Homo-oligomer: A and B are copies of this chain.
C-alpha cells in the first residue's frame, strides 16, 4: 500500500501511524520526494482497511498495490479451480453449456425445454422460480412450486439444475438444488454471501450491473472466506450509456478474471444483450475469449414467455448454436502457463 502525505504533515502524526501499523506487523518505508512524502507499507496489507488510512487528516491519497482478495487470488493459487456439479466439471479448459427458460411457467413448458436442451447438448438446466422484476405488477415467478418443477425436470432428464435465490428466507427450498445462483442485484448482498459461504454447494455469482471486476472478486471472497470455494463467476453485462443492447457485455472481463483469479467464469449473452438476435454472435465471442461456459435462455414459445422472452432462443436456434459452440471451442483463447502475454 502506497500512502502519499499532505505537504504539511507533522512528525508526531507519522509516528502514531507507524506505531499502529507495527501492531499489525506492517512496516513503513519513507520516501522524501521533492514536493511530497510518500510511504511504502510493507507486509501483508490484504486485510488492512485502506479507508482507515485514507481518513487520516494528514494523508492525501492511498493506493493499493496488493489485491484486497486472497482466497480468490491466482497469485496464491496458480492452477484453475474446477467446480464439480455431479459429473459436470466447470472450468479447466472445457466449455459448459447451461440452458433453459427465463422463468419456470408450467410442467409442460419446463419438461419440453429441458428435453430439447439436453438433446442439443446442454449440461445443466437453468430456470427461474423466484424472479426479480423491476415492477411490482410484473410476474414474480412460481416460487416454491417452480423449484419443485425444476427437481422433476432433473429427474426426467438427469440434468443438474441452476436457479436463483432472492432472499435468505428461501434457503431451505434450495436444499436439493445443484447450483444456487446469486443474481446481479444480490452480488453485494453481503449477508447472503456470508450464509452461502457456510454451505459447500456450488454458487453461480453474477456480476452486478455496476460492479467492477474487483468488486465481483471481493464478493467471491465473501463466499470463499466462509469456507465455500465452489464459486462460478458470471459476466452478464454492465450498465453504460449505450441503449442498443440491454446492457453492455464486458467480454474483456473474461481474460481479466482469468489473470487475477483462479475461479471459472462463464458468460450470459441473453441478459447481456437483451435480444435473441444478438445471442449467437456474442455466445461465440465469449467462447473465443476463453469463457468456461455459457448460460443461455431458451423458450419453446418465446412470444408467450412470462418474462424476458425477447432474449430467449427457440430450441431449434439453440441446437444450431450449441453445434457452433462446440466447433468454435477448440480455437478459443486459453491462458498459457506463463500468464496473459502468451497466446
A14 at the interface (CB under 8 A from B): no
Docked Cα-Cα span, A340 to B274, in Å, equals 13
State which residues 113-151 of A face B: CB under 8 Å: 130, 132-140
Complex contact A341–B285 (CB within 8 A): no
How near does chain B come to A342, taking the closest CB pair, in angstroms?
8
A245 in complex: contacting residue of B2, B140, B252, CB < 8 Å: B252
In-complex Cβ contact of A63 among B2, B273, B277 (8 A): B2
Task: Collect the chain B residues with CB atoms within 8 Å of residue A212's CB.
Answer: 241-244
Q: Which of A255-290 contact B (CB under 8 A)?
A: 255-256, 259, 272-273, 275-278, 280-282, 284-290
- Flag if A65 contacts B61 (CB, 8 Å): yes
In the complex, which residues of chain B have a beta carbon less than 8 angstroms from the beta carbon of A289? 281-282, 284-285
Compute how far the CA of A317 lies from the CA of B338 in the bound complex, rounded to whole angstroms. 14
Interface residues of A in 290-343 (CB under 8 A from B): 290, 302-303, 305-310, 312, 317, 320-321, 324, 327-328, 331-333, 339-341, 343
**Judging by beta carbons under 8 Å apart, are A168 and B166 in contact?**
no
A130 to B248, CA, bound (A): 31
Q: In the complex, A143→B138 CA distance in Å?
A: 34
| Residue A10 interfacial (CB < 8 Å) | no
> Which chain B residue has the least Cβ–Cβ distance from A276?
B341
Q: Counting CB contacts under 8 A, is A85 at the interface?
A: no
List B contacts of A331 (CB < 8 A): 284, 324, 327-328, 331
Q: Which residues of A in the span 1-38 have a Cβ within 8 Å of any Cβ on B?
A: 2, 4, 29, 31-36, 38
Q: Using A52-B309, A188-B185, A248-B248 as known contacts, say yes or no to A57 and B210 having CB atoms under 8 A apart.
A: no
For A252, give its contact among B40, B46, B282, B317 (CB under 8 Å).
B282
Given contacts A241-B241, A278-B252, contact A68 B343 (CB under 8 A): no
Inter-chain CA distance A325–B120, complex, in Å, is: 27
Q: How far is the CB of A55 from chain B (nearest CB, A)?
A: 3
A74 at interface (Cβ–Cβ under 8 A)? Answer: no
> Chain A residues in contact with chain B, CB under 8 A?
2, 4, 29, 31-36, 38, 40, 42-44, 46-47, 49, 51-52, 54-57, 61, 63, 65-66, 68-69, 130, 132-140, 166-170, 185-186, 188-194, 208-210, 212-215, 218, 221-222, 225, 238-245, 248-256, 259, 272-273, 275-278, 280-282, 284-290, 302-303, 305-310, 312, 317, 320-321, 324, 327-328, 331-333, 339-341, 343
**7 examples of A-B residue contacts, CB within 8 angstroms:** A4-B65, A51-B308, A55-B305, A166-B190, A243-B243, A281-B333, A285-B333
What 6 pairs across the A-B complex have the smallest Cβ distances? A210-B210, A55-B309, A277-B340, A31-B40, A281-B333, A288-B288
